[in-house]
Amino acid sequence: MREGKIIKSISGFYDVLDSESDELVRTRARGNFRKRGIKPIVGDMVSYEASGDLGYIMELLPRTNSLVRPPIANIDQAIVVTSAIEPKFSSNLLDKILVNIEHNDIKPVIYLTKGDLISEDEYQNLIKALSGYHEADYEIFEDKDSYNDAQVKRLEALFTDKVTVFTGQSGAGKSTLLNHINPELSIATAPISQTLNRGKHTTRQVSLFEIAGGLVADTPGFSSLELIEIDKEELPNLFPEFVKFSADCQFRGCQHVNEPGCKVKEMVESGTIMRSRYDNYLYFLNEINSYKKRY
């Protein structure tokens, strides 16, 4: 029995990168996987047997984490690509993506694109808006020239020995960024739909590529996502800057809404925690409560 990582999935076949030999082996899943409700996804570590031209996946090894959208497992970090314009920067969508990533125990990194398409004043306002994310200890790539060599090299240095997923709103520039990192990938890009202000989904499947000593996924973008797996008790813990101050709240398990002696609300009033982050938190809390009523 051999072990490896699924790096590509297409039409019921799985390309597995062998852990010892670095050989790429095309496999299929065992026939009883479907009956048992098991579906291998890209990033899964598997035990497999290889015979002739085709191997068979015998067992899925335990996952450290996984995403449903895009379907990928065992991710170390997520590069959240967010654009300054076309589609317009949205703190609500960025925070929703960050919350989902934190919920899955994945390290988020924020990468701003299309800063060169807005005026200097607009860019400086955006940098000011992003400063609160620095306060929350997020690593941010925010140069006005998004794809300059120095910044792209700095990003590449994060890939070594990690599985990295690129995610963010459709049309934000994920595939363009990956093509700057490795032009040989030639990942398809498409223009923004003017009527919808959304990108067309140019990435049809999830694949892992070997780049800079790590594995990197290009994944389909999205224009909305839900918080259906997150409960209201967990939500405050998915905002790192809230966690930093919540120990000083008067009540344990403080939801940072109406409770007296709330240190988080105090930090919002003082400007230490971004008002937009707190407003988005309240919005998400309301969204989660509405799910619970609905279901």
Would you say residue 230 lies in a domain?
Answer: no
- Please name every residue paired with 3 in a beta bridge, in sequence order, or none if there are none: 47
Cα distance between residue 284 and residue 227, in whole Å: 8
Using a 10 angstrom Cβ sphere, with 0-12 exposed, 13-18 middle and 19 or more buried, the burial of residue 119 is exposed
> Which string of DSSP letters, residue by residue, matches 96-150?
HHHHHHHHTT-EEEEEEE-GGGS-HHHHHHHHHHHHHHHHTT-EEE--SSTT-HH
The CATH number that applies at residue 253 is: 1.10.40.50
Asked whether residue 81 falls in the same domain as residue 174, the answer is yes
User: Which pLDDT tens digit goes with each residue over 212-235?
Assistant: 999 998 665 544 467 778 999 999
Would you say residue 174 lies in a domain?
Answer: yes
Q: Cα–Cα–Cα angle for 236, 240, 241, nearest 5°?
A: 95
**Known binding residues for GTP:** 113-116, 168-176
Would you say residue 227 lies in a domain?
Answer: no
Would you say residue 151 lies in a domain?
Answer: yes
The total number of structural domains in the chain stands at 3
Asked whether residue 55 falls in the same domain as residue 165, the answer is no
Q: What is the mean pLDDT of residues 1-24?
A: 93
**Known binding residues:** 113-116, 168-176, 249, 254, 256, 262
pTM of the model: 0.84
Asked whether residue 192 falls in the same domain as residue 263, the answer is no
In angstroms, the first-to-last Cα distance of the chain is 44
Cα distance between residue 142 and residue 123, in whole Å: 10
- Spatial contact of 81 and 89, defined as CB atoms under 8 Å apart: no
For residue 47, give the amino acid letter.
Answer: S
CA 252 to mean position of chain CA atoms = 30
Tokens 């300054």 locate to 84
User: Which pLDDT tens digit goes with each residue over 77-116?
Assistant: 999 999 999 999 999 999 999 999 999 899 999 999 999 9
Instruction: Determine the 3-state secondary structure of 130 from DSSP.
Output: helix
Sign of CA dihedral 268, 270, 275, 277: negative
Question: Where in the sequence is the domain holding 93, given as residue range(s)?
Answer: 66-218
The CATH number that applies at residue 165 is: 3.40.50.300
Predicted pLDDT of residue 225: 63
User: Which pLDDT tens digit goes with each residue over 141-174?
Assistant: 999 999 999 999 999 999 999 999 888 887 888 8
Tokens 């609500």 locate to 92
- Please name every residue paired with 111 in a beta bridge, in sequence order, or none if there are none: 81, 141
Sign of CA dihedral 263, 267, 273, 275: positive
Q: What is the DSSP letter of 31?
A: T
**Known binding residues for Zn(2+):** 249, 254, 256, 262
User: Is pLDDT above 80 for 54?
Assistant: yes
